[in-house]
Amino acid sequence: MLDDLKIYEKYDPGDVHSLLFDFHAQFSTGRKIAETSDYDKIAASDVRQIVVAGMGGSAIGADLLRCYSLYEMKIPMIVNRDYLIPGFVDKHTLVVLSSYSGNTEEMLMALEAARFLGAQLFAITSDGKLSDFARDLNFGLIEIPGGLPPRAALGYSFVPLTKLCEFWGFIPPQDEFLENTQYALHKGAEKLSRDVPTEENAAKKMALKLHGKLPIIYSSPRLEAVATRFRGQIEENGKALAYSSVVPEMNHNELVGWKHLYDFAEYLQPIFLVDFEDHPRNVFRMNFVADVMRELGVEPIFIEPPQKDAPFMTRMFEIIQLGDFTSYYLAILNEEDPKPVRIIDKLKASLSQFEG
């Protein structure tokens, strides 16, 4: 089915395939946008912590930066997915407001709270109320290209924020890593394209393994955001449930649950995302858990970056790219259009009528 190119005309009328194939271009565009922004409106020397307020596809770029810079970021950084913001936010807090549409209601309420608490503000958006607020209130703004599903604009949420943190002195220079990653994604897309037959296409093979199954994605803490992205793409593109968890934390609770699977074993598909820099004790833990699964008749899948000698940023995005294309082919197998998220649109319409 996946090698029948006519099937994509039926189930991909919005050409999500092109968005995935051309994703690499967002890296160079994102860098240029950041370099020409008014990032100097932030008094970086006064910043003691960073809060990124966003939801869904607009927040995952910040999650990836948080995990990527885990051992290099000089100040604490959290991603806030709520209407409310932490009590520690004050004049020494940089609140980055990330909303692709600019109209995300949770983010807009967080903006009001951050203003009240005197935080420094910076916005990343394509349009909407957030763009208007940034101009009216004269705080920093990066306007990214619009017209995409937020989850397809990952490069525009990750790259500008990464460059901003470089400009502000919170992380080391990143151009070499961004360029390497863009090149790897360009080459990777050619190997995962729908024109590449299944026997040579890792994403098509993965989609076939996941079809009809419940993926449960495990990773080390440094790949946590990659696992979250993988899960989210299966859910939004593939229209199928998936879950993710982190080692070693899952060893202290969830592992015990791998005993009574009832009749679900044949429908579970564990996936371990691994990197050669994972702590050796976490690698041991993953292999231990995998053996537990095998004893229950469940065979896990291990995924690692194809280039072990590439920079960590590149290795992260190579796994992300595989997950993105896998979710696309899973949508086709499910006979679904990967682009629309109608139930989310329905929820937003219902919320617009809710008074509270």
252 is catalytic: yes
Q: 74 catalytic, yes or no?
A: no
**Helices in the chain by DSSP H: which ranges?**
6-11, 16-21, 25-35, 60-68, 105-116, 128-137, 154-167, 175-192, 202-210, 224-236, 254-257, 280-295, 312-333, 342-351
- Whether 258 contacts 293, CB under 8 Å: yes
SS3 helix, strand, coil % of the chain, rounded to 5? Answer: 50, 15, 35
* Sign of the torsion angle spanned by Cα atoms 13, 18, 21, 23: negative
Cβ 188 vs Cβ 214: under 8 Å: no
Which residues are paired to 119 by β-bridges? none
Edge to edge, what strands does the sheet with 140-143 contain?
77-80, 49-53, 93-99, 120-125, 140-143
Amino acid at 141: L
Choice among 6, 199, 252, 259 that is catalytic: 252
Q: Which of 32, 91, 346, 348 is catalytic?
A: 348
For residue 350, what are the contacts with CB-CB under 8 A and spacing of at least 6? none
The closest alpha carbon to 174, from 20, 338, 31, 329, belongs to: 31
Task: Give me the catalytic one of 166, 236, 239, 318.
Answer: 236
236 in catalytic set = yes
Which residues, in sequence order, are CB contacts of 163 under 8 Å at separation 6+? 30, 31, 34, 35, 174, 178
Task: Give the burial class of 109: count Cβ atoms within 10 A of its Cβ; 0-12 exposed, 13-18 middle, 19 or more buried.
Answer: middle
Q: Which amino acid, one-letter code, is at 12?
A: D
- The residue assigned the tokens 């271009």 is 25
Which positions are annotated as active-site residues? 236, 252, 348
